[in-house]
Structure 1
């Protein structure tokens, strides 16, 4: 198996066509077809379905595509690590952010990276936290912001912030508390719109509830922040979330947030990298920048509900 075969295969999948991939790669289509056939023969599996409309991945092809992407990225990182200097780091860095964090961190980080490290190409990917963990394990991400659920021992991790979860719903809603805060028991008794159990804030809510001898009652599960926000605006229920993902709505008065008490719910936000794949100079520089931008956002109040860890 050769690296060029991996590059060819990834290009074919990305472009959905042998002919388009051949044009982009500047390779004759018969040669591309031959390399693909050799790869399939070596693997003993068909990777692509071919039709007049183009190509689509088989189940084996989808699995191999993920591994091929990770291998090609690690090869590129290895080359970049040799060529880079610590004074002027350059190259590509891929950072994963959970949906509920990107609203606070993504734009300030991109702006800071362009100003501080113009020779680094920073690629941000926004995913559910479970997907980010798998991509970081496989090497498809250099860095990821994850929530410390006690299971991050497989990664190098640096605590960033402790973030408060708030009770959020429409102002004047039947779900809205009467006072300036709401107890966890009353919050859990409401109709709550939350991510599924393995995603986002849900594990932390479940853990805090169990510690207080409480349980969730009525839950509507929605994993998309955008859809969850729409459900809140439609007054289908309330949620327990950090303020950052819906900050614009709270500032506009279309949503309102109340502190949760007895007990409060917080989550630990952590910057993680692989223990097995060394960081390039560029990735290490972006890691330092993430911490710096986080400190600035907390100091200025532009990451509401967050306090620096430690």
Structure 2
């Protein structure tokens, strides 16, 4: 299927005949000027003017028609499939504190760091979010944006793969990480906005309290799904233990904001949590296929150029 983007431009085809009609000499006046022989003799044959031949006129018409056709914008529509879309903005807040180096999870049957497991499963999760605008926030002593919200999920997944411990300290500023994720979602009112927060520790850095930031999320209408990662939590130990996760706080954040809470003690639990979030926040809706046009105007434009050059170089008769 092809068409012209600006078909009304074809009215310009009538321009040369109109110009010739109105610019033609009056029929009542002769087209020649009689001059004395003394004046005519002053002109040598070398000063004669070339008159356009019929072939040059044909070339001029070809050039004009091709130029008008190019201005009309010929194009052909290419087949395109429907695109996945959700209208959702999703931010991932990832804990990069020192405890993520613990080797108490398994990956492909081998003992692995928590961070390695999260990077593998998390990047796969991000790549599967086609249709969402996804971003990544990492936090430890403080929070930073590792990937701005984007529909380019492959680029965000690459940032996920590159996440490393020690970039911003080794503590756990849960409130700061969640707060920065909410800030990045504040410019998208009217959309479904979601945060997935993963942590394996307790809030021990930053000035923002997690419960206060959870209330802000509720006010903004942002759902926060939380993942508490680690074999032990604060309610299961006595005394100080740096290797425990504050599951109660993460559960409270999810409940206040209207999200879901997931307790992860092993790699299989994290896989189930990610699958559950995929079901809660589906991505498999299709928007109408957007037309993709292939522009054809360079072809008539090229023909107009060649015809113009040919007409300029064509030999004419002399008068």
TM-score when normalising by structure 2: 0.23
The structure with the largest alpha-carbon Rg is: 2
TM-score, normalised via structure 1 length: 0.23
**More RCO (CA 8 Å, sep 6+):** 2
